[in-house]
A = this chain, B = another copy of it.
Amino acid sequence: ELEINNVGANGEADKKKEDFQNFLDILPILTKEILKDLPSMDIPAQQQQWISRLIDSSVAGGKMNRGLTVVHSLQLLVEGRQLTRSEVFQANVLGWCVEWLQAFFLVADDIMDQSITRRGQPCWYRTRNMLSSEPNATVGSIAINDAFILESCIYILVKKYFRNESYYADLLDLFHETSYQTELGQLLDLTTQPNRGDFSMYSLDTYRRIVKYKTAYYSFYLPVALAMLMAGITSKPAFDTAKDILLPMGEYFQVQDDYLDCYGDPKVIGKIGRDIEENKCTWLVCQAVLNANPEQIVHLKKVYGREAPADVAAVKKIYAEIGIERIFKKYEDESHQMLVEKIKNVKIMPQEVFYKLLSKIYKRNV
């Protein structure tokens, strides 16, 4: 029995690896599709190369969980049969479109946030401008237009592979709506950045609204909804059900992200958290505002959002004093519980779609 279990587990691990490799293999095909139209449009070789470098350095290199979710969800939605090779390919194309959408937003977000690195590399706008005669020129604000180009790639790809599907217009509507929701999230985020020491905006309500729009729609709802469209689902209540579960799941994911930024192992998460230094409106600081005593709040206002390691340590000390670990564990359990309750009540589509996603993130350390 142990052996069978192991074989099962290995089989699962193999399947996971295969899915992953399958997904990775499609990126160069899609990139080639984008680039191959350019010569006949009379776009010079230099600009073709520009776009090629843009895609290579901003679309690839993420964890690709969002992209892989499309094919995983579709497999669970068709229940009891294997997906055809062509279904797998199409689902992975949509998965890459989600990654492309993310690249569009991240390239722009890094300019707006003046970030330095992304996925361990310099942000695109800070890389060298290979077409400038000045040796030290960076891409700079040209990256704004590059973000637009990344967005356009989504629609080139969806048209190439889905133009004749009955749900083509629904796919376009979904990408448009998700883009708008994410932009509203960015607007909320960018216009809710308080000065250092001003905690008036650090409330859980504000936090949850920002997270829902900025992250949850495109990271959780979009990949599943794309799979639902491919599966032929047209019922509005089914999409509403998916939203009702996936948006809180996205919020839970972002709370974990904030927690890991502070308490995760940098070797495991692949970066050194900087939310405290950057004065970010995180779940942690919102909890501190809720749970700290007046003295602690006064102190926190003095040290939050500063670069000095001693100030960062002082913030973490206050977090420890209010028992942030316990508060987080409680939140994690309650969120998990709430999501399971919601999923249990789903009748309109396979519950497995949601359990699978939840299991991917529950108690994650990366």
Interface residues in chain A, defined as those with a beta carbon under 8 Å from any beta carbon in chain B: 41-44, 46-47, 50-51, 108, 111-112, 129, 131-134, 141-142, 144-149, 152, 155-156, 159, 163, 168-169, 172-173, 176, 179-180, 183-184, 186-188, 190-191, 194-195, 198, 209
Contacts and interface: CB of A to CB of B under 8 A. Distances in A.
B190 A176 contact: no
Contact of A145 (B41, B108, B176): B108
A256 B76 CA distance: 60
A42 B213 CA distance: 10
Nearest to A131: B191
For A43, A134, A156, the residue with the greatest tally of chain B CB atoms inside 10 Å of its CB is: A43
A198 B160 CA distance: 41
Given A112-B142, A144-B144, A46 B180 contact: no
A145 B112 contact: yes
A141 B134 CA distance: 24
B47 A108 contact: no
Nearest to A156: B180
Contacts of A132: 191
A179 B168 CA distance: 19
A189 to B, nearest CB: 9
Contacts of A155: 172-173, 176, 180
B184 A133 contact: no
A179 B104 CA distance: 14
Nearest to A154: B176
Nearest to A155: B176
Contacts of A131: 191
A188 B112 contact: no
B47 A188 contact: yes
Contacts of A156: 176, 180
Contacts of A186: 145, 148
A149 B47 contact: no
A199 to B, nearest CB: 13
A47 B213 CA distance: 13
Contact of A133 (B142, B168, B180, B194): B194
Given A43-B188, A134-B195, A184-B43, A144 B176 contact: no
A152 B112 contact: no
Contacts of A159: 173, 176
Contact of A198 (B133, B149, B188, B191): B133
Residue of A146, A156, A180, A188 most packed against chain B (CB within 10 A): A180
B144 A184 contact: no
B194 A47 contact: no
Given A112-B142, A145-B190, A183-B145, A152 B169 contact: no
Nearest to A175: B155
5 contacts: A46-B191, A47-B187, A142-B190, A145-B183, A145-B186
A155 to B, nearest CB: 4
B169 A141 contact: no
A79 B180 CA distance: 39
